[in-house]
Amino acid sequence: MEAVERGEVLVHAPVKVDGEWTYSQAWLDELRTSLETALDAADPIDPGVPVPSEPWAAAILPQLGFERRGAKLYRPGARAELGARADAAAALEAQLGLEPVKVEDAALARFLEEQGKLVRVGDGYAVSAAAYEQARGALVNGITLAQFRDALGVGRKTAQLLLERFDADGVTRRVGDERILRRR
Residues 100 and 174 in one domain: yes
Residues 109 and 142 in one domain: yes
Within a domain: 152: yes
Q: Quick one: pLDDT at residue 184? A: 66
Kindly state the percentage of the chain with pLDDT values over 90: 77
Report the mean per-residue pLDDT for the chain. 89
Domain end position, chosen among 28, 56, 74: 74
Residues 126 and 173 in one domain: yes
- Assign 14 a pLDDT band (cuts: 50, 70, 90): low
Out of 46-50, 51-55, 113-117, 180-184, pick the least confident.
Answer: 180-184
Residues 119 and 177: their CA atoms lie apart, in Å, by 24
Which domain, by its residues, includes 165? Answer: 84-181
pLDDT for residue 115 is more than 60: yes
